[in-house]
Structure 1
């Protein structure tokens, strides 16, 4: 049998996470619990203090992580299994409120069996005020990061353990709502193996990653490099050079966009972005390989990034409703943190299947459209390659819309449009030309604002092409960040209200 790995205590966790010698405790003596406590419980508390070396199950403070001030809260599992009673809850809430008042990002490291049984219902209800404090911190636009440690269960997992903007877990950690010992006692059966683990939660799209404690500082640094990037006194950038785009037939662009070696979102992030932190799934138990959600920076421009991954989509596994629910998670992050949103469209089309229909695909397209067009933060979308149907439409509307030279946008694949109009797919090229799907047509009609050139095909120059896209994104995002929010939002609505109308009608 493999040797069990020793888990870090709360103070050891802080020592690993923060810059050496920078931790400052915020803890005051625990508040007194109203009423009397039994002699037996008093003895348990005394023994817990002796065993753990701390005065309560939660310790709090601040430290520098790669030079940035970060507020810290964590459970000490050796103190009554990290359980949260009234005194621990009050300490936790005071720390969260202080972090909010001082404008600090917050890193939480729960490791707990849940609320403290010795204190009953009142301790159980303390999860309400902890949740309210976290919600107020998030409402203030401040990052909340969670590192789920072994074990995290019960009311702690069902409150402040599940509210992170970014949530990662310790390898091999037991994480679940109902602890296995309780399950066995209640149901006289063993809980299925492998379910309540950080690794399984990651596979299911419930958390973003599983990382060793030694990697916490790296992860926090990447998160905060994006989320806490300056939003004022932004660097000046020069506009990308306008170049003449060749008058390529629509069908030729479509053919080029479908090449297997055409660069997609993964290459775009690799060649043109930095501080990239992939996020995982909806946070609600779903994930779709057809969409990449990440935090990233293009040059000095921070963003929440949503990209349709052409490598993750296939006839057997097309983009489904879960991808749009994941995209909507990204939109919520953008709104809450007042961070620009970049969407990248590259899809042969959303799933047409029984599962997609029953999974609410049409409703998710509608909700994605609503969330995106009404988003208060700056938005930029890029038609990188194929732009087919409702799956593309859901990520298109933005303050600024860019299009690769061989990108395109169509309500259906041209073959499908040809089948509807001509009852054959043989007129697909004619339909593509007639529908105005290519970049030059989209620019002329006001659908897109800028064409990113290819020389003459992105597949022949993937790195150079991706860098041009990245430079265009940096320029557009930084420009939007300098605009007032209300006029920018009104201009976005006006753009789509007038799209396709003649100037006299508009």
Structure 2
């Protein structure tokens, strides 16, 4: 599919939208530190091609005299993809806009998550969503201008949360990029669906308009949305002299700007090196099992940024590839227990709920209220049928958000269970607002007042998995995994073949041990569980050994139920203020917390 001819460089867009000479960059330089020679070469070529040091630029300017914060993507820089450094840059800009009470204009053009950095880059979408949610909660306007093309995790997070959303004429806008769909399903996505004009026809954007019309539209909207005159013409401090007063070219080579907070040692691009430093996180509540994360969460508001998964790149050990492939294979076994089996084994007084309450029901989602380990809770999760989970569509996410509302209104803990090969990929899903519902689910979870616990039970592919991930605590079954795409899709993007899926998954750090090391999960639950007396009770190594949840689901579910019961009880006993503060810190430090040496 073709979109607008000759993609406009992002700095030209800035010139077209902002008042002349008003642009001031907020970006700090980003060094290249990855140990992966192929990724390093990609980054250096992107820098040479664009004159930028990352795929996003941030700063401020004026529109008709009003101060406005701006975050935007440069698609020519690795397809505008978001890695750890880009995610951190976005969050710092949003936080600064919030602190300075500025309206925020976002102009994404991106293919989504940066596949070279894998899962730790994928969860940046949670971090950015949390920052946007905080900006909106402060009563500040957030406007979005979707440019050609905007797909994947960017559309399914900060690209779909605007108070007002416009799109570039002819832009390709959709959840799954056309190339990945072709690689996974051997056919092209239906034409004419993932277009700005079709989104407008289905009520998913508010307007389709060229960039030259943005200044007038944004100015009129902000005159209504901003309830005071702060930032309007006549109230803005005069531009400073020096680098901050520079025009659109300032900072294009990573030059100085005004940082949101003192920068520690620069912000590295994604790759494979650990981060040193960090402060000790708040003490765990009494009785809480210590985190199995070997490093403390970084308490600084803007810490140095980690790179991608440890060991990423051509040198990933063969043992890691084998272990990752083994977990993915085991997670897909037909006999692996799902959320229904979990509720049957560990739940008491289970009351199933059905649908959104507004005429929609999705077989891909289970929603219920129950007691687990004596603690009352709301349970929602991807629902396996005959060994497979039907792909979750936008209706299923609206059903999930019904469960979130019940938990919030009654103060009940919420348990989300992730076990999906991916979200629905169809005309109906795109036109029904799948990406926007993923974004709203993320925003609801990061702000939910009720205690939240997530269990990665099996497969965790793409936005359908991410939509249920954010929580106060995240547990993972031993052979569960989390990835920006099914490994076959990630392989198609990076290598234009699905044959390297195992290698790519290992590089991306998708398995539970990797997630634990990166602070994405807090505890890994062994499969099939602690050994018991009698033959066949150990994991062993023989041909008849019990090795995963499918081999002895009864033992696994009994142990898992005990673990979940304890976790829910502890979360419910925490002071809400402390729990919510810890959650904010958790999301803020995704990808930037210290990692163990390796």
Normalised by the length of structure 1, the TM-score is 0.50
Count of matched residue positions in the alignment of Structure 1 and Structure 2: 267
Matched, 1:480 2:571: yes
Give the match for residue 288 of structure 1.
362
Confirm or deny that 1:410 pairs with 2:501.
no
Query: Hey, what does 2:397 align to over in structure 1?
Result: 324
Q: Is the 8 A contact 2:340 2:384 kept in 1?
A: no
1:262 and 1:459 in contact (8 A); partners too: yes
Q: Any conservation in 1 of the 2:375–2:568 contact (CA below 8 Å)? A: yes
- CA deviation after TM superposition for structure 1 residue 444, in Å: 0.4
Q: CA deviation at 1:281?
A: 0.4
The aligned residue for residue 433 of structure 1 is: 506
Quick one: distance in 1 between partners of 2:357 and 2:290?
Answer: 37
User: How far off is 1:503 after superposition?
Assistant: 4.0
- Partner of residue 442 from structure 1, selected from 504, 510, 515: 515
Residue 273 (1) aligns with residue 347 (2): yes
Q: 1:291, 1:306 within 8 Å by CA — same for their partners in 2?
A: yes
Tell me the alpha carbon deviations over residues 86-107 of structure 1, each in whole angstroms, 9 at most, x when there is no partner: xxxxxxxxxxxxxxxxxxxxxx
Secondary structure of the corresponding residue to residue 346 of structure 1:
strand
Query: Which deviations, in whole Å up to 9, do the C-alpha atoms of 1:269-310 show, x marking residues without a partner?
Result: 111111100001000000001111000111111100001112
Q: TM-score when scaled to structure 2?
A: 0.43
Q: Which has the higher contact order (CA 8 A, sep 6+)?
A: 2
| CA displacement at 1:241 relative to structure 2 | 12
CA contact (8 A) 2:475 2:524 kept: yes
Q: C-alpha distance in 2, partners of 1:493/1:366?
A: 17
Distance 1:485 1:502, change over 3 A: closer
CA contact (8 A) 2:330 2:479 kept: yes
Unmatched 5+ stretches in structure 1: 1-235
Shift of 1:502: 4.6
CA distance in 2, matches of 1:265, 1:413: 20
Structure 2 vs 1, CA of residues 479 and 314 (structure 1 numbering), >3 Å: closer, same or farther?
closer
In structure 1, what is the Cα distance between the partners aligned to 2:366 and 2:564?
17
The answer on whether the counterparts of 1:387 and 1:409 sit within 8 Å (CA) in structure 2 is yes
Q: Contact 1:313–1:347 (CA<8 Å) still a contact in 2?
A: no
The structure where helix makes up a greater share of residues is 1
Residues 336-374 of structure 1, C-alpha deviations (whole Å, 9 max, x = no match): 000000000000000110000010000100000011110
Matched residues in 2 for 1:497 and 1:416: separation? Answer: 28
Equivalent positions of 1:103-142 (< 5 A) are: none
Residue 445 of structure 2 aligns with which residue?
Answer: 372
Provide the secondary structure at the position in 2 that maps to 1:311. coil
Choose which of 254, 276, 296 in structure 1 pairs with 2:328: 254
CA-CA distance at 1:239 after TM superposition: 5.4
Q: Which moved more, 1:317-326 or 1:431-440?
A: 317-326
2:561 aligned residue: 470
Q: Distance in 2 between matches of 1:415 and 1:480?
A: 37
C-alpha distance in 2 between matches for 1:435 and 1:392? 16
Say if 1:241 and 1:497 are closer, same or farther in 2 by CA, change over 3 A: closer
Aligned mates of 1:237, 1:471 — CA distance in 2: 15
Q: Distance in 2 between matches of 1:341 and 1:241?
A: 20
Contact 1:313-1:319 at 8 Å conserved across structures = no
Alignment of 1:170-249 (within 5 A): 249=323
Q: Which blocks of at least 5 consecutive residues in structure 2 are unaligned?
A: 1-285, 293-318, 529-546
SS in 2 for 1:266: helix
Which stretches of structure 1, 4 residues or longer, exceed 4 Å deviation after superposition? 236-242, 312-315
Distance in 2 between residues matched to 1:318 and 1:347, nearest whole Å = 7
Relative to structure 1, the CA distance from residue 354 to residue 241 in structure 2 (aligned partners, 3 Å threshold; closer, same or farther) is closer
Q: Distance in 2 between matches of 1:405 and 1:344?
A: 14
- Counterpart contact for 1:436–1:442, Cα < 8 Å: yes
User: Cα gap change, 1:502/1:265 in structure 2, threshold over 3 Å: closer, same or farther?
Assistant: closer
Question: What is the CA–CA distance in structure 1 between the aligned matches of 2:569 and 2:326, rounded to whole Å?
Answer: 33
Distance 1:322 1:240 in 2: 38
Partners of 1:240 and 1:475 within 8 A in 2: no
Aligned-CA RMSD value: 2.5
Q: Secondary structure at the match of 1:370?
A: helix
Q: Which residue of 351, 370, 374 maps to 2:424?
A: 351
Partner SS for 1:261: coil
